Amino acid sequence: MGFIRDLFTRNTNASLKKELKNILGFVPDNFALYKTALTHRSVSEGVDENNERLEYLGDAILSAIIADYLFRRYPYHGEGFLTEMRSKMVNRQQLNDVAVKMGLKKISRFNKLDSCLKTSHIFGNTLEALVGAIYLDYGYKRTYRWVQDYIITPHMFMDELELREINHKNKLYGWANRNGKTLEFVTLDERIENGRRLFTVAAVVDGQTIAQGTAFNKKDASQIAANTAIDSLGFNGHSLQ
């Protein structure tokens, strides 16, 4: 049994290394780091076995790299513009979309029976954890090049980001004010999910729930609800007529 288990583990690791190479563009030196980066707390609660610590590190490193990149790209723009652009590039929805496009959803280890996780931002968190792993494995300079070559250039179109409105709540409030509507964000549910507090928030227009969002904090949940409402309304109001 031990031989069969070892053989299965070797085959699994070999397959994961191949998929990681396709995503990262290189074969990692410290493979264990990357396995940890791909492991969500829902399948392993050990502090050294899931990606929360690497996510914390990767979040800081990615933010620094993006700040450095923007500082060089926009030499004549002020602090406010740079801060807003960084927020657009590293917000949860943006990073989650990038992670899914890169293929991280297919190789991430998480509790697939938990439907809430499938609609949360855990893949963006996994991407941050991978940035942390690359930093520990290869240092800042190589991580900077990787972020630029594999995240910014193929997935973040700067001209579009400059024009993008990322505060969906403000956008929805603006629509409501222009059309004489009453808009509220109401917490529908709050519960503990895999050791973390999970919130479901509804966007309510004139007493009618038009969209819901679920996330591990109220701010993200309300932004998801607002974005879903914007998509469903198209700002023509027909769905409320």
Q: Are residues 88 and 46 in the same domain?
A: yes
Residue 230's domain is classified under what CATH number? 3.30.160.20
pLDDT of 170 higher than 90: no
Q: What is the pLDDT of residues 145-160, one digit of tens each?
A: 999 999 999 999 999 8
- Structure-token pair, residue 168: 């969906």
Tell me how far apart the 2 most distant CA atoms of the chain are, in Å.
Answer: 70
Reported residue count of the chain is 241
Instruction: Tell me the catalytic residues.
Output: 59, 128
Q: Are residues 157 and 205 in the same domain?
A: no
pLDDT of 98 higher than 80: yes
Residue 238 binned pLDDT confidence (cut-offs 50, 70, 90): very low
Sheet containing strand 208-215, edge to edge, reads: 183-193, 196-205, 208-215
Q: In angstroms, what is the C-alpha Rg of the chain?
A: 20
Residue 95 binned pLDDT confidence (cut-offs 50, 70, 90): very high
How much of the chain exceeds pLDDT 90, in percent?
A: 48
- End position of a domain, from candidates 163, 188, 211: 163
The Cα–Cα gap between 230 and 211 comes to: 9
At 207 the pLDDT is 92
